[in-house]
């Protein structure tokens, strides 16, 4: 009976965070705050290869900043949250130019935003809104075509923090 209870706790408890080694390449994303995964003194430092090793997803969408439809590939934000063992009520995302947005954790949806690393099969660079662009599937869900969601589609993303 005790084994069954222990199994139930393990099964129904929060998903364990990934284990991240120190980055081997240039750091493209720093993660801080309420996270379980650490590989640096004050949080988590990730290179492009580490992000590419996480479960990858793609979707096609048009944006108000680009012409036509593009295929964006990367890590779903909800999967990233699970991978780093994040908790709290707010996700704060910061760009290279210090532009900052907050997204309530409660608004993370299965069809939600993607930490895009590629656009049309090409790695995003600072010149092309990279190295990471938080992008929503605007064409798939009309609810994402709002000023609030457009303001959250932060590009040149380099920091994520989780807090209450």
Is 1's pLDDT higher than 60?
no
* pLDDT confidence band for 11 (50 / 70 / 90): very low
Domain containing residue 116: CATH number: 3.90.420.10
69-76/114-119 β-pairing: antiparallel
Is 8's pLDDT higher than 90?
no
Residue 155 structure tokens: 């590009």
Q: What is the pLDDT of residue 16?
A: 55
Is 59's pLDDT higher than 50?
yes
Task: Pick the more confident residue, 80 or 14.
Answer: 80
Q: Give the percent of the chain with pLDDT over 90.
A: 83
Task: Pick the more confident residue, 38 or 110.
Answer: 38
Give me the DSSP letters along 141-157: -GGG-SHHHHHH---SE
Is 106's pLDDT higher than 70?
yes
Residue 82 structure tokens: 């699970």
**102 bridge partner residues:** 92
Mean of the pLDDT values across residues 107-118? 91
> What is this structure's pTM?
0.88
Mean of the pLDDT values across residues 64-92? 96
Domain residue limits at 99: 2-163
Please give the Cα distance from 66 to 14 (Å, whole number).
38
Q: What is the pLDDT of residue 154?
A: 97
Total structural domains within the chain: 1
90-95/157-163 β-pairing: antiparallel
Q: What is the pLDDT of residue 108?
A: 85
């Amino acid at each position: 009976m005790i084994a069954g209870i222990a199994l139930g706790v393990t099964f129904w408890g929060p998903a364990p965070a990934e284990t991240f080694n120190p980055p081997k390449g240039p750091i493209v994303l720093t993660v801080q705050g309420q996270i379980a995964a650490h590989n640096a003194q004050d949080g988590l430092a990730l290179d492009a290869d580490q992000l590419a090793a996480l479960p990858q997803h793609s979707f096609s969408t048009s944006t108000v900043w680009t012409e036509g439809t593009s295929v964006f590939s990367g890590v779903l934000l909800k999967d990233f949250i699970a991978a780093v063992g994040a908790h709290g009520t707010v996700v704060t995302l910061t760009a290279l130019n210090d532009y900052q947005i907050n997204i309530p954790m409660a608004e993370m949806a299965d069809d939600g935003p993607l930490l895009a690393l590629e656009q049309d099969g090409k790695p995003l660079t600072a010149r092309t809104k990279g190295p990471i662009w938080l992008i929503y599937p605007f064409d798939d869900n009309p609810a994402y075509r709002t000023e609030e969601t457009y303001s959250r589609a932060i590009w040149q993303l380099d920091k994520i923090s989780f807090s209450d």
